[in-house]
Amino acid sequence: MNKDERKALISFLSIYIVSAIFLIGVILYIYYKNETRMLEETCSMELSNASMHIKTEIMNKYMKKQEFNASKLTKENIKYGLFDKDKNVIFSYLDKDFEIDFSKTTYENEFYNYFITTLDDENIPIKYIVIETCQEVQDKNKLKIFILIILVLSSIFIGCIGYLLAKILLKPVRQRVESMDKFIKDSAHELNTPITVLMTSVSMLKSGKNPQKMMKYILSSSKQISQIYNDIHFSAFNEINEDVFEEFNLKDLVSESTEYFNDISITKNIVIKSTLEDCFIKMDKTKTQKLVNNLISNAIKYSNKDSIVEVSLSNNILNVKNFGIGISSEEQKEIFKRYKRGNNNEGGFGIGLDIVKRICEEYSLLLTLESQMNKKTIFSIDFSSILNKEYIQK
């Protein structure tokens, strides 16, 4: 992972994790407030009930003129204390480390909740009933720990999911960048050969050696450079161009292309043979030229030296056949993808057949491939779907 990818990954994870944790934090905060409110209500109700129970019992005992004997409540988490009007202890189970604030009805400290009830009967020595419990504080502490654990686990989970998502999102970008890097390197390599031949031929031409042969090499190299530039330009900018439909004879266009590539094939001593029949179609002529040129150019690149390339047009089907390295069944599945090459040791940089496939798909032309390793390869395009029907009727 390079510096830019790492920076993008960190930025994405930071935004994703912070926003996700913030959202979860808000939800957990709302949950915490709701739960604490319910705990407070429950605790207050329990303390009130306990206070009413003790108060009623005291009142009944003194009304019957019986002595009240304090005893522990059934709920161990609730304790109580009885105080006289001077706030002196009559009886207490309370924690003596804490002073009681008799000015309040309910209050809490960091350890306990208190509920205070008063008795207004002068005949009863008990003036204050103080109820104490630590249950609410303990429950709140447990709730805080639970929420903290949920937040930590959620953060870890979100971080892992965010990392996986980032890797998934960056994978096609990384593949694209790698493909572009490879494409640039292959483009430089592809251009290097005709440029080298061109410069060598010019140098030889200046010295007066084999001028006719050097002129052929100069012409061949110039056409190769032009073909490479046209492919790159078409692949990059074709989307913004509108189609211009024309009625023309495909035979004439293929004938021009074979004538054009005869000057290029001379560097490998390859002969292009053509057998052509009339085929009148209605299509964008520039794109048709691209189809034919790329198939012939591809055939030359992957043909053996001193071999032939056969171009035929019959029954509205264009066949381009070469005798070279061939294409394996596995490579045939990938060969039409952009920046894919049939053999990394051969020429080309992987956009020619991608252009062919895109144009065929645009016009619903049937594109087929037949190949035998180290024997032959045949690319075929059926133009039947775009025939000029007016010409056929005539």
Q: Is the pLDDT of residue 380 over 90?
A: yes
Contact 351, 182 (CB under 8 A): no
90-103 tens-digit pLDDT: 888 887 667 888 88
Compare 237 and 295 and report the one with higher pLDDT: 295
120 pLDDT band, cuts 50/70/90, is confident
Q: Who has greater pLDDT, 64 or 194?
A: 64
Q: In the structure encoding, which two tokens stand for residue 123, read together?
A: 């005949």
Give me the DSSP letters along 142-209.
Answer: HHHHHHHHHHHHHHHHHHHHHHHHHHHHHHHHHHHHHHHHHHHHHHHHHHHHHHHHHHHHHHHHHTTS
Predicted confidence at residue 379, as pLDDT, reads 93
Q: What is the pLDDT of residue 382?
A: 94
Percent of the chain with pLDDT over 90: 17
309 pLDDT tier (thresholds 50, 70, 90): very high
Per-residue confidence at 348, pLDDT binned at 50, 70, 90?
A: very low
Interatomic CA distance for residues 213 and 225, integer angstroms? 19
Beta bridge partners of 368: 380
Question: Alpha-carbon distance 381 to 295, whole Å?
Answer: 10
Query: Rounded distance, CA 224 to CA 392, Å?
Result: 37
Is it the case that residue 218 has pLDDT exceeding 60? yes
- The SS3 call for residue 130 is strand
Q: How far apart are CA 131 and CA 330, in angstroms?
A: 83
Annotate 34-62 with DSSP letters as a single string: HHHHHHHHHHHHHHHHHHHHHHHHHHHHH
CA dist., res. 195 & res. 346, Å (int): 17
Q: 346 pLDDT band (50/70/90 cuts)? A: very low
Cα–Cα separations (whole angstroms), residue 284 to 51, 103, 151, 250, 291: 95, 95, 61, 11, 11
What average pLDDT does this structure show over 262-276?
A: 86
Q: Summarize the confidence of residues 329-339 as an average pLDDT.
A: 72
**Measured in Å, how far apart are the chain's first and last C-alpha atoms?**
64
Residue 338 has pLDDT above 60, yes or no: no
pLDDT of residue 123: 80
Of 171-180, 273-282, 338-347, the range with the highest mean pLDDT is 273-282
